[in-house]
Amino acid sequence: MKEGLLISDQRTQASYEIPIQDGTIRAMDLRQIKTAPDDFGLMSYDPAFMNTASCRSAITFIEGDKGILRYRGYPIETLAEKCSFLEVAYLILFGDLPTEPQLKEWVGQITHHTMLHETTKKFLEGFRYDAHPMGMLVSTVAALSTVYPEARHVQDPEIRRLQIMRLIGKMPTIAAYTYRHSLGYPYVYPDNELGYTGNFMNMLWKMAEPRYTANPALACALDILFILHADHEQNCSANVMRSVGSSRADPFLATAAAAAALSGPLHGGANEEVLKMLDEIGAKDKVPAYIEKVKAGQFKLMGFGHRIYKNYDPRARILKWAADRVFEVTGRNPKLDIALELERIALEDEYFIKRKLYPNVDFYSGIIYQAMGFKPEMFTVLFAIPRTAGWLAQWQEMVEDPEQKIARPRQVYIGHAVRDFVPLEKRSAAPAPVKA
Ligand code: CMC
């Protein structure tokens, strides 16, 4: 069957046949639709990319209506159960699960790149005692660009691979340093004998003991959390990574930009907001009144809703399971009861049912992180560590895609037509806008 779209332009009575491929039309095919030879041609208008595919990608598959998430074809549930985070990072970045020797080499390479240059450590020391860890992370990742100037040669696959290893290796070190800085504790250097999450925990929590031993159940839970957060196709921060990377900026700067996008409360910053919300609600019996305020449009229920998922976020389901494992070690976080009550009431309420609003990944992750001993300000930093693998995979795919160019959307100009210039002494103030 021929796949095409017939368009009839009522302005000119002309008709056009536009090919359909993979359920999409090419926006550039609309340009031929003109009212006159000097007409620019038709564009599509899509604020917030509600219905625009910006790339062809083979990394992550999401079927939002069914609550399905797969990395490179493997269901997230299987990967969370059977793999380590670095195994999954390799899969996301290079397309296939590593063999045993490949994994050994990969883990060795990442471990080799965990150290920060001493000047970067000093850079971190310069932040105020109460600096938000996400601001510190974003700035420090950007600062790495000055330490590795060769990173700008983004067309060189070997140089790209080296920066990928550096970023994945150094992200937990930067994150741990931001945490120690906020507490006024001395920084702990990476320990190459430890695994990825075990070493991260060592850099976070080692005090005077000769060797820090992470609780294996908590290290395992953190590893699962990292797997769940590793990639999520074309979300806001992945789009920033691709967009900034499309100008051929180096991957440290592009990653810093992506992390900045992640920090917002509508994206990764939501996990911090969930905890604030649970604190504000305070008790299980206050939940119905809070839900009423959400329905009245006073604020959003943080950790609920998703642009793509119109069903239960599969990551939230695994997180609920992981929460129980963590609470066996740490004791139950009392906020879980408020969260469960919020979920129960929301899932039975017409407002949430009609809009297909379900808990997302940020709803339960904060409760787990808090039980592990993290302050809410650290939650988004914990999201950024594993998402770095996803950002880099998206960036690499973009750089290698011959169809990609510098990202540059169009606009519909709605401002003034040409105006006569008025000299300063003759200008009068414009009337204040009338409030609606
Ligand atoms: N609480 C109450 N109402 C909501 C919520 C919510 N959390 N989310 C969406 N709605 C309503 C929204 O008001 C709108 O209602 P109406 O049709 O009456 O105007 C309808 O549902 C559709 O929402 P939308 O804002 O058009 O949806 P969107 O796709 O633009 O936004 C979202 C998606 C995730 C930004 C949004 O659901 C939200 O702000 N959620 C809270 C923040 C949050 O948890 N973010 C984390 C997202 S998952 C992890 C990540 O990507 O980082």
pLDDT single digits (tens) 171-200: 999 999 999 999 999 999 999 999 999 999
Cα–Cα distance for residue pair 225/369, rounded to 1 Å: 10
**Which protein residue has the closest C-alpha to ligand 1 atom 41?**
302
Sequence-distant (6+) residues with CB within 8 A of 173 are 114, 115, 116, 190, 203
**Proportion of the chain in helix, strand, coil states, percent, rounded to 5:** 55, 5, 40
Contact 199, 114 (CB under 8 A): yes
What CA–CA distance (Å, rounded) separates 378 from 272?
8
End-to-end C-alpha distance for the chain, whole angstroms: 53
* Ligand 1 close to Cβ of residue 294 (< 6 A): yes
* pLDDT digit string, tens, across residues 127-161: 999 999 999 999 999 999 999 999 999 999 999 99
Set 362, 401, 416, 420: catalytic member: 362
Q: Which residue has the tokens 């206050």?
A: 286
Residue 434 confidence (pLDDT): 72
Ligand 1 center from residue 111 Cα (angstroms): 38
Cβ-Cβ contacts under 8 Å for 424 (sequence gap 6 or more): none
Q: Which residues make beta-bridge pairs with 68?
A: 63
Three-class DSSP category at 14: coil
Predicted model pTM: 0.94
Residues of the chain with pLDDT under 70: 435-436
Distance CA 159, CA 144 (A): 15
The predicted structure's pLDDT at residue 436:
61
357 lines ligand 1 (CB under 6 A): yes
